[in-house]
């Protein structure tokens, strides 16, 4: 099955609000590429992208490609709708993204969603991988699934 065409959330979900620094990260998402902002001076990885490295205050960055694999750091099953046509509950998850094989010196976390999982299966530390939800030609949202 082609996961790129799968949908889990309606279009009426809030759209990303971007600034100069976060837009390139979202544009990489639109190409289904998971990245993190890496400081070229000290290899600190940060998300969301910002004008300065919070570790060394450097401002020379690149978006480093990540595998899109990671682990569930924490989660909540939300029982209140965020948009009208939504299935409840939905899972907000913090994902610790794997940086193995990249110059990044620290794992970096991303706020996202877990999809296609039962509440009973939710367990902190379990491996996950990114799946992309194409909302439009311009916007793809990274969500995650448990890696079986």
Query: Token digits for 88?
Result: 């409840």
In the bound complex, what is the minimum distance in angstroms from residue 127's beta carbon to other proteins? 16
In the bound complex, what is the minimum distance in angstroms from residue 98's beta carbon to other proteins? 15
The candidate with the shortest Cα–Cα distance to 22, out of 49, 46, 40, is 49
In the bound complex, what is the minimum distance in angstroms from residue 23's beta carbon to other proteins? 7
Nearer of residues 100 and 137 to other proteins, judged by Cβ: 137
- Preceding peptide of 89 cis, ω within 30°: yes
In the bound complex, what is the minimum distance in angstroms from residue 101's beta carbon to other proteins? 20
The candidate with the shortest Cα–Cα distance to 143, out of 91, 104, 83, is 91
Nearer of residues 83 and 147 to other proteins, judged by Cβ: 83
Is residue 37 packed enough to be buried (19+ CB in 10 Å), middle (13-18) or exposed (0-12)? buried
Residues in contact with other proteins by CB under 8 A are 9, 11-19, 22-23, 26, 46-48, 54, 73-84, 89-90, 92, 94-95, 108-113, 119, 124, 135-139, 141, 143
Query: Token digits for 31?
Result: 């190409």
């Amino acid at each position: 099955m082609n996961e790129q065409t799968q949908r889990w959330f309606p279009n009426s979900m809030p759209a990303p609000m971007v600034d100069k620094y976060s837009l390139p990260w979202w544009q990489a998402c639109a190409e289904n590429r998971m990245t993190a902002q890496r400081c070229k001076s000290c290899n600190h990885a940060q998300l969301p992208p910002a004008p300065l490295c919070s570790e060394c205050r450097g401002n020379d960055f690149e978006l480093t490609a990540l595998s899109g694999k990671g682990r569930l750091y924490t989660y909540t099953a939300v029982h209140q709708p965020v948009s009208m046509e939504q299935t409840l509950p939905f899972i907000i998850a913090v994902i610790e993204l794997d940086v193995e094989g990249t110059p990044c010196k620290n794992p970096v976390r991303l706020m996202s969603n877990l999809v296609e999982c039962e509440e009973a299966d939710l367990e902190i530390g379990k491996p996950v991988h990114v799946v992309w939800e194409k909302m439009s030609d311009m916007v793809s949202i990274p969500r995650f699934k448990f890696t079986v």
